[in-house]
Structure 1
Amino acid sequence: MPGKTALVLGGTSGIGLATARQLRALGATVHVSGRDKRRLDDLAATDPDLIGHRSDAADPTALGDLAASVNTIDWLVVTVSGAEGMGPVADLDLDVLRRAFDAKFWVHLGAIKAVLPQLSADGSITLVSASSARMGMPGTAGLSALNAAVEGLVRPLAVELAPIRVNAVSPGLVDTPWWSSTPDDARRALFDQIAGVLPARRVASADDVAEAVVLAATNRNLTGTVLESDGGARLVSLA
């Protein structure tokens, strides 16, 4: 889609990077933001067609400046995530959960507010939540609340900001660098176990989820929708 401009927040790895690459393959000009200089340097080497920016998505002022430097943005994609907030409710550290909300929910909402002045009238906002928002797995009450809060933005904003479209994509288990701290053997065992239960019989790749993100961002008939790209996790028990 030549002539279109995308901004992917958290786009230097995982689902964000896969999304940026797919949007670029459609012909869009794609800007990618991230905090990690090393990842941005790697991005410049591996994907010179992507325009990298070092920016903290948790800083609305910096995001506003970044958006203004890009000028008109057609597709805003927010793939920022965190690694905290999981555990039995009896043991859940509420300060940790607050940090988790700061790292994801408030970043998503702050990004929308910061970039909104630069969004084109027929543009789109695509958020990334997680299937924990609708699942009943023990130990995920904090994560469920966090991702449900992200998804809770979608429907009212789709009406409030119309004709700008607002959607979210809800992935399940995805094989991304998020798992890099888990030993290889333990990660493979977990993936094999879950793949055996999922109706799709496989663990998703970042590209799988990115295809759903690109659809949500670019399809002009989709708004107020949460696309579930979870391999059917919501249909079975993974506990």
Structure 2
Amino acid sequence: MTARTALVVGGTSGIGLATARQLQALSHEVHVAGRSRQTLDGLAESDPGLIRHHADGGDRDRMAAVAEEIGSIDWLVLTLSGSEGQGPIADLDLGTLRRAFDAKLWAQLTTIQAVLPRLTADGSITVLGAITARMGMAGTAGLAALNGAIEALVKPLAIELAPIRVNGVSPGLVDTPWWSALPEEARQDYFAAAAKALPVGHVASADELAEVVVLAATNGNLTGTVLEADGGARLITLG
């Protein structure tokens, strides 16, 4: 494969970092953007081959400046996320949910607009949603609305921006820092119970999801598609 240029926004941890590492392992030039200077400085030690940019996906001017600095971009990967927005609807703080939309949906839209002028004609955009968009799981109405909105972008943008390809990836349970707010023992207990219920028999790793993201970003015949990489979570009931 000819070397290409990728920008992974939210690429400093979890699925984003795993994706950046896999793309770099394929000998592509990989840029990562993140909000935390400390995390970016850490990548200078652990992943010196990744080109780092301090930027917030919700800041259009900054993201446009990053794209200008990079020049031509083949693959834009958006793995922006947040830890807010879940809970029973009767008690859900709508201000908190609004912040979750700002951090994920609006930041992804803002980044797409900012970077679009620098995307190559045969390039791609890959967004990250979540399987909550299609599950009936109590306490996830806010997350379902958020991720449903993100994944709803894929088909119309695939038509509007063609020949640029647009795809989404819809993860289920993934062992990433997203779960860091949960006490370690509680997290391990939940993951163990979930693994028994999931058809694949385990909770996904960031590397497993990254393989799917790389496919969505790089496969020239894939567009307008949301790839469900949830271990079969949508087929069962998770507590």
In which range does the TM-score fall when normalised by the shorter chain? over 0.9
Q: Distance in 2 between matches of 1:208 and 1:3?
A: 22
Unmatched 5+ stretches in structure 2: none
Please state if 1:109 is matched with 2:109: yes
Q: Distance in 2 between matches of 1:134 and 1:146?
A: 11
Q: Distance in 2 between matches of 1:37 and 1:99?
A: 21
Paired residues for 1:21-32 under 5 Å? 21-32=21-32
Would you say the 8 A contact 1:2–1:29 is kept in 2?
A: no
Please state if 1:163 is matched with 2:180: no
Q: CA deviation at 1:94?
A: 1.1
Q: CA deviation at 1:97?
A: 1.0
- Alignment: residue pair count: 239
| 4+ residue runs over 3 A deviation | none
Q: Distance in 1 between matches of 2:221 and 2:61?
A: 32
Q: CA deviation at 1:180?
A: 2.0
Please state if 1:18 is matched with 2:13: no
Q: CA deviation at 1:181?
A: 2.4
- TM score, norm. by length of structure 1: 0.98
CA RMSD, 1 decimal: 0.8
Note the alpha carbon deviations across 1:193-229, whole angstroms, 9 max, x for none: 0001000010000000000000000000100000011
Paired residues for 1:70-149 under 5 Å? 70-149=70-149
Amino acid at match of 2:195: A
Q: Distance in 1 between matches of 2:35 and 2:18?
A: 17
What SS does the corresponding residue of 1:65 show, helix, strand or coil?
A: helix
Q: Distance in 2 between matches of 1:80 and 1:195?
A: 25
What SS does the corresponding residue of 1:15 show, helix, strand or coil?
A: helix
Amino acid at match of 1:77: V
Note the alpha carbon deviations across 1:17-36, whole angstroms, 9 max, x for none: 00000000111100001111
Q: Distance in 2 between matches of 1:3 and 1:68?
A: 19
- TM score, norm. by length of structure 2: 0.98
Q: Distance in 2 between matches of 1:181 and 1:147?
A: 20
Note the alpha carbon deviations across 1:117-151, whole angstroms, 9 max, x for none: 00000000000000000000011111000000000
Deviates more, 1:178-187 or 1:190-199: 178-187
Q: Distance in 2 between matches of 1:185 and 1:93?
A: 27
Would you say the 8 A contact 1:2–1:26 is kept in 2?
A: no
Q: Distance in 2 between matches of 1:199 and 1:237?
A: 11
Give the equivalent residue in structure 1 for 2:224.
224
